[in-house]
């Protein structure tokens, strides 16, 4: 699916603000460039740096952004390294840094990427699978090598899965009996076998949903990457610059909320508005993916020195 309906686009554009003072935008999660294109359209003076660790996303984004050349640069890297932007020649500090976290429709709808419990595919889930040297283990490897404790922690901490221990134990027992897990379907079937039918009925939703989310987060080391990226982004901000984050699960949102609070205590700036924005009802109706979105904005105070003066 080469289409991706950008989530909370109007809210993002409002947050980016008026036409002036938006010179440098960093899209940390370029994806298919949906947000980036609209930002570049509205801000003719702006230059955009777009990060994505997914080679296919970068290729499509490059095609879609071509009409805006030379006003953008695509960076093939994990956004955890966003802080390295300041080493790029001519980088003048960021007026906006945008994060639209998680996977794109492109990734989730391609069975061979292994992100979806709805399609049969290999248990991969690496967002940078297209890179010759991916820095992540495949989901299959995690399921083959992690012990009960580690798997329980993954499913509990990253999936908030109530039956984390039972599922972890079931997977390890399956391995001990010579069972292997190579495909998404095999994992879904095993989870269905592990969990008693009444439990599955009580779960409300697909019984493998949280395990898949948890594995994806573990495989891509998503929480550590986000933590490093938030601090990296804050260090790039110009006075009055903004960090805009759209997250899709409570773990991410909690991390963003707490980090914004910490920066406020450090008098760097403040969350504005104070609370998270949610998508409008008609967006949720039109785009199922948006239902769990939360958007938070952090605004750096005006009076700080320009970021370029710090180097
Ligand atoms: C939800 S999509 C972004 C969609 C985009 N805003 C649009 O409107 O087309 C998230 C993208 O971020 C990328 N991504 C997620 N985590 C990343 C990370 N740690 N480093 C770099 N890219 C990442 C994914 O590969 C995916 O393409």
Q: In whole angstroms, give the CA distance from residue 122 to residue 126.
A: 11
On whether 100 is known to bind a ligand per the annotation, the reply is: yes
Query: Around Cβ 148, how many Cβ atoms within 10 Å?
Result: 15
| Ligand 1 probe mutation, 53, 219, 227, most atoms within 8 A of CB | 53
Report the topology of domain 137-219. DNA polymerase; domain 1 (1.10.150)
pLDDT at residue 108 greater than cutoff 80: yes
Q: Is the CB of 53 under 6 A from ligand 1?
A: yes
For residue range 205-232, what is the model confidence (pLDDT) as tens digits? 899 999 999 999 999 999 999 999 999 9
Q: Is the CB of 35 under 6 A from ligand 1?
A: yes
Burial of 270 (0-12, 13-18, 19+ CB in 10 A): middle
Tell me, in angstroms, the distance from the centre of ligand 1 to residue 197's CA: 36
The arithmetic mean of pLDDT across residues 302-308, rounded, is: 57
pLDDT for 155 equals 98
Domain with CATH 3.40.50.150 in the chain: 9-106+222-310
pLDDT for 21 equals 81
Q: Whose CA is nearest to atom 14 of ligand 1?
A: 29
Report the topology of domain 9-106+222-310. Rossmann fold (3.40.50)
On whether 46 is known to bind a ligand per the annotation, the reply is: no
Domain with CATH 1.10.150.170 in the chain: 137-219
């Amino acid at each position: 699916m080469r289409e991706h309906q950008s989530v909370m686009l109007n809210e993002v554009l409002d947050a980016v603000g008026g036409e002036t003072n938006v010179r440098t935008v960093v899209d940390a999660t370029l994806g298919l460039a949906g947000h980036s294109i609209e930002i570049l359209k509205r801000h003719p003076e702006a230059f955009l740096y777009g990060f994505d660790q997914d080679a296919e996303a970068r290729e499509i984004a490059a095609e879609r952004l071509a009409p805006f050349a030379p006003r953008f640069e695509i960076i093939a890297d994990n956004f955890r390294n966003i802080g390295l932007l300041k080493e790029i020649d001519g980088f003048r500090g960021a007026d906006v840094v945008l994060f639209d976290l998680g996977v794109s429709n492109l990734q989730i709808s391609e069975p061979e990427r292994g992100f979806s419990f709805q399609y049969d595919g290999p248990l991969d889930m690496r967002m940078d699978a297209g890179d010759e040297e991916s820095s992540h283990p495949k989901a299959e490897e995690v399921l083959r090598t992690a012990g009960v404790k580690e798997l329980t922690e993954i499913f509990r901490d990253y999936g908030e899965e109530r039956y984390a221990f039972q599922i972890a134990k079931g997977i390890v027992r399956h391995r001990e009996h010579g069972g292997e897990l190579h495909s998404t379907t095999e994992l879904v079937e095993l989870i269905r076998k592990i969990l008693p039918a009444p439990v599955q009925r009580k779960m409300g939703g697909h019984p493998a949903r949280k395990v898949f989310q948890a594995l994806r987060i573990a495989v891509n080391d998503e929480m550590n990457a986000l933590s490093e990226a938030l601090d990296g982004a804050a260090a790039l901000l110009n006075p009055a610059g903004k960090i805009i984050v759209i997250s899709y699960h409570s773990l991410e949102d909690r991390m963003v909320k707490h980090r914004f609070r910490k920066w406020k205590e450090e008098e760097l700036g403040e969350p504005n508005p104070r609370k998270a924005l949610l998508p409008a009802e008609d967006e949720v109706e039109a785009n199922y993916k948006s239902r769990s979105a939360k958007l938070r904005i952090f605004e750096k105070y005006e009076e700080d020195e320009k970021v370029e003066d710090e180097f």
